[in-house]
Every structure is written in C-alpha cells, then in structure tokens.
Chains A and B, each alone.
Chain A
Amino acid sequence: DAKTTQPTSMDCAEGRAANLPCNHSTISGNEYVYWYRQIHSQGPQYIIHGLKNNETNEMASLIITEDRKSSTLILPHATLRDTAVYYCIVSSDSGGANNLFFGTGTRLTVIP
C-alpha cells in the first residue's frame, strides 16, 4: 500500500475551517484514501474515505486532487473537541487482510 506524508502539527482557531493536507504521490488506481482521528489516547475514530470523488459527511469533507496524489480533509467549523491526531491512510482494501498503515499523523490543536 502507498504511504502518506502529513505535516507533524497544525493549529486552527476555534470556529474556523481546519484544512489538513496529505500527500500520497505513489497511490495506485485501486487505493482509497481514509481519514481517522485519535483524541488523546482513545481508540482511533473513522472520519471519512474516498476514491477519487470529493466526499462529505456529517463530520468532514474530503477533497482529492484530480491526479489523486494529494488530498485535504476539511473540518468546516473546528471546535475544541476536534483537537486530536489525524491520520491519512491509503489502502487498496482488497476485502482481505486490510492492514491500514496509520503512521504518525498530524496533531491538530484547536485554539480558543
């Protein structure tokens, strides 16, 4: 599975949009982009995933570039509770032994 590159940390003002970038330049055609987050030392929580189209759900939006080499997770109105480590993962998810490689993620701090 392709690996990803994310900034180590980011800050965002409360109420503003948080835009978290992710590079995955070696992504292959059948690999999806997943985002999870981990608040403090709790278990990671699924946020969203996509293949090539932009996706939106109640938590966030995912924007994937046309060449699929990068993507951005958008939290439209960040709150203090969004302070967490955000993981960008790409995986072919063959339905078999899907081992999502979590890496070290981006530590997002939402500032009051």
Chain B
Amino acid sequence: EAQVTQNPRYLITVTGKKLTVTCSQNMNHEYMSWYRQDPGLGLRQIYYSMNVEVTDKGDVPEGYKVSRKEKRNFPLILESPSPNQTSLYFCASRDRGTNEKLFFGSGTQLSVL
C-alpha cells in the first residue's frame, strides 16, 4: 500500500532535549516536505526536499533541521526543542511531475514542556 509513515504519532518531551521525527515513503517520490499545523494558522511549510541531498527552507524553518540521505526518508530534527514548537506535524511527499498530488502522513503530535 502506498503510504507516508511518520513516527512517533505522539511525543512529549522537555525543553532542550534533542528529538527526531521520522518520515518514510514507499512511492519512490522525489519531493518531500514537512508542515506544522497550529490552531488558526493552517498548515505552514517548514522544510522541503526536491531530491536526495537537496533541501531548502519553507516558511517557518527556524529551530528545525532536516536531512535527505536516502530518497525514501526525510527526518525532521529539533536540536533544542522549545515550547513554541508544540504543534501537529505532517510529512508529505509527491512525485516530481507537474500537478502531482501530495500524500500526507498521519501526523505527529508534539508537546514540548
């Protein structure tokens, strides 16, 4: 089954403790991205990747890192989480052709205390 898999589904951590949210897709998609969703603000893009070893900032990249060492994986790294990064996070992927639809993961609810 074609899917985008994120882990964990829920995560509670404390300020300053490094964490990684994993994202993996099994559709051989070149494009992957991370979004965060906050009440009243919709989905905002954090980082995206056009292909392996190619990443770029989205609208709200501060406090986040990503890497794309393999095509299928696109982890989101919070080196020193802060409470304002408490949010619902989504990973998405799509094929490279024009007008290809985005496939989203099921989300990671992160709480930073």
A105 touches B42 (CB 8 A): yes
Question: Range of interface residues on chain A?
Answer: 20 to 34
Instruction: Name A47's closest neighbour in chain B (CB-CB).
Output: B101
In the complex, which residues 70-106 of chain A have their Cβ closer than 8 Å to any Cβ of chain B? 87, 93-105
Q: Does B22 touch A at the CB level, under 8 Å?
A: no
Which secondary structure characterizes the binding site on chain A? loop
Known: A93-B98, A96-B50, A97-B48. Is A43-B104 also a contact (CB below 8 A)?
yes
Q: Does A49 touch B at the CB level, under 8 Å?
A: yes
Residues in A lying within 8 Å of B, measured CB to CB: 32, 34, 36, 41-46, 49, 87, 93-105
**Considering the complex of A and B, which 3 residue pairs feature the smallest CB-CB distances, nearest first?**
A43-B104, A46-B101, A102-B43
Residues in B lying within 8 Å of A, measured CB to CB: 4, 31, 33, 35, 40-43, 45, 48, 50, 56, 58-59, 88, 90, 92, 94, 96-99, 101-107, 109
